[in-house]
Amino acid sequence: MKSFSDRLADAVRRNASPVVVGLDPRADRLPPPLACDAAADVCRLAEAYELFCREIIDVVANSVAAVKPQSAFFEQLGPPGLAALHAVIEYARAKNVLVILDAKRGDIGSTAEAYAAAYLGQSSAWKADSLTVNPYLGGDSLAPFVAAAHQQQAGLFVLVKTSNPGSADFQDLQCEGRPLYRHVAARVEALAAEQLGECGYGSIGAVVGATHPEQLAELREAMPHAWLLIPGYGAQGGGAQDVASGFDAQGLGAVVNSSRAIIFAHQRPEYARFAPSDWQRAVEEATLAMRDELTANN
């Protein structure tokens, strides 16, 4: 199997799309055909989440670089939610859609090894193609994830500069001459450069929010070999111009996530023309519109 980095590049090229659709199901925003009483029956709700995500995967399979299930919303339902997450990942893989599992894990030693063995690659329990991880615990906490990623042809996205306003609290602190996020970025770049794919990028990438365009440009330069996963597009306020500096001349090097604006597109005024039973068409149109916005200047 190719490296995660090259599989991601292939998906971007094949679908002419750097779009990542975030799978963040929520009981109170499901399309009417899938609505169910969250309080009454958590197992039915978990089934609704699974069906919702499967339908989205069907619709976006040929217009996205990857899907990004957000583990939190599945964990919120307890064990039935996690069975649904497992089924969603399996479904995406069967449809040849790359999965970036957004779980922001991080721990040390054998615990980090357990997380890596849990999530990364075909031989893991969850079989994700890649995983988001949190760097706060330091380089030796990332090492087991990196080792597993390389061994399993899987990928990582390390949090570097997140899209929320509070990311400034610690990530922007000036530490020994540069912001903390630059220290983390230097570590990510070194890890990315260890094993480069044919596309020129490694399988160890970085999360950099769309809401900080100047820092995105700075971090693109600081991590020339790292894929950037850019959240914060759409609902959080980032636009196409804000993320433009993430891409190289071939349109590679970055993928851009949108969750709510796509998966709940049926609730957006511009897609009110679709009947509730046609919510998938709203998802489809919102995905294609985002792809067009992002690739208009290519």
- Tokens at residue 221, please? 């330069």
Closer to its own copies by CB, 3 or 171: give it: 171
Can residue 227 be called a binding residue for its own copies (CB under 8 A)? Answer: no
> What would the two tokens of residue 178 be?
């540069």
Q: From the list 96, 164, 277, 297, which residue makes contact with its own copies (rule: CB under 8 A)?
A: 164
How open is the CA angle 88-91-96, to the nearest 5 degrees? 125
Catalytic residue from among 2, 104, 127, 161: 104
Residues 6+ apart with CB under 8 A from 2: 10, 153, 197
161 is catalytic: no
Number of residues located near its own copies, criterion CB under 8 A: 59
Identify which of 204, 212, 201 has the alpha carbon closest to the alpha carbon of residue 161: 212
Please give the backbone phi and psi of residue 178, each rounded to the nearest 5 degrees, phi first.
-155, 160
User: Which positions from 184 to 223 touch its own copies by CB under 8 A, shown as an x/- string?
Assistant: x--x------------------------------------
Among 64, 77, 128, 290, binds its own copies (CB under 8 A): 77
Position among 174, 214, 249, 269 found at the interface with its own copies (CB under 8 A): 174
117 part of the interface to its own copies, by CB under 8 A: yes
The closest of 167, 254, 251, 253 to 211, measured between CA atoms, is 167
Q: Which of 135, 96, 124, 112 is nearest to 2 (CA)?
A: 96
Residues engaged in binding its own copies (CB under 8 A): 24, 26, 42, 70, 72-73, 75-79, 81-83, 86, 104-112, 114-115, 117-119, 125-126, 134-141, 143, 159, 162-171, 173-176, 180, 183-184, 187
Hey, which residues are catalytic here?
Answer: 104
